[in-house]
Amino acid sequence: MKKIFAAIFIFLLIFYNTNVSAETVEETKPDVNIQVKGNIETGQDIQIFVNVQNIKNLYAGAVKFKYDKNILKVTDIRKGDLIDKKDMNIFEVGNEIDNDRGIARFKGFSCLGQVKGFSGSGTFIVIDAQILKKADFHIKSIPLQEEPNDENNLKIQLVDNNLEDMDYNFKGYNFKFSVPADPNSKAPVSSKTENKDTSVKNSQNNTENKNSVVKPSNEVSNKVSKNSDRSEIKAIVKDKNEAADNNDSKEIKDNSDSILKDKNKNISDNTVNKENLYEENINNSNKNSSSKNIAASKNNPNLDKIKYLILIIFMIIVIILGLKIYKYMLKNKN
């Protein structure tokens, strides 16, 4: 009986040590970051590097990049120095570039034979591209995503020597382009006669009203209620009707119509932007939650191990009870 309990204790000790070592391996994630070299100007060539640090046993991998075809044109996508070593035999699937759809793929590679794979730091993938238009663009990724999208537009798949997908920490790239102000633009100068002084003053006042309406249009749609918007529009209409009685009614009328059109356009555009932003936030939250669920399911293999451990202990207890019952029955027969 002592031997049986000693065997159970040794089994539990080995299982616990294996479990602790597995958790230690899972906690060490490789770091992936994006580096862009080149001048971000129209017509210039750039290189995008997918760099990996502190990776262990990289056995296979693939990359899929989604980009704006009006901003970038990808000319090549290939493996980097991390997986380009002479002492390791690998098989490459190849690449695929579709600039009409804005998709570039490094279809994948795999090590050959019973090897651990690549470890260390280096460049995993290199993407050559040309700037078609100087505008905002970004490169983002989340682990274990199924397909790239407009927000997380880079899918990176890293597989270890146990053929399990690897989690990673990611640092992306974001380019923001700001249009510089035109220093040559000047306000028009009026050369009215004294008889037109009244018209000039009214026109200037009307222009100030236009600026006061158009300038905060984006804030109005977010902070001011619909009733205040309607009251502003009514006030502009009232000013237009009063100005129609003056000698320069035609000029003020045209300016007022322009104000109304700009106001309605800004309100409708902002409403559409709100709806699009709301839908985009919902889609992103759903995708992020599904990705988190996938990562959580892969990072919790201990539940299955605990179930197996409980089952094994239960079977051992049943065997011990059976042996005791068998010995008791033999004693009664004798």
- So what's the pLDDT on residue 321? 87
Partners of 79 in the β-ladder: 125
- So what's the pLDDT on residue 268? 55
- So what's the pLDDT on residue 306? 81
The 3-class SS string of the chain reads CHHHHHHHHHHHHHHHHHHHHHHHHHHCCCEEEEEEECCCCCCCEEEEEEEEEEEEEEEEEEEEEECCCCCEEEEEEEECHHHCCCCCCEEEEEEEEECCCCEEEEEEEEECCCCCCEEEEEEEEEEEEEECCCCCEEECCCCCCCCCCCCCCEEEEEEECCCCECCCEEECEEECCCCCCCCCCCCCCCCCCHHHHHHHHHHHHHHHHHHHHHCCHHHHHHHCCHHHHHHHHHHHHHHHHHHCCCCCHHHHHHHHHHHHHHHHHHHHHHHHHHHHHHHHHHHHHHHHHHHHHHHHHHCCCHHHHHHHHHHHHHHHHHHHHHHHHHHHHHHHHC
CB 234 within 8 A of CB 211: no
In tens digits, what is the pLDDT along the chain, a chain of 334 residues? 555 555 555 555 555 555 544 444 455 899 999 999 999 999 999 999 999 999 999 999 999 999 999 999 999 999 999 998 878 899 999 999 999 999 999 999 999 989 999 999 999 999 999 999 999 999 999 999 999 999 999 999 999 999 999 999 999 999 998 766 565 655 444 333 344 444 434 445 444 444 443 333 344 334 434 444 444 444 544 454 454 445 444 554 555 556 555 655 555 565 555 556 556 665 665 555 555 555 555 555 566 778 788 888 888 898 988 888 888 888 887 6
Is the overall model pTM greater than 0.85, yes or no? Answer: no
- So what's the pLDDT on residue 309? 84
Measuring CA to CA, which residue among 184, 182, 259 is closest to residue 215?
259
- So what's the pLDDT on residue 108? 95
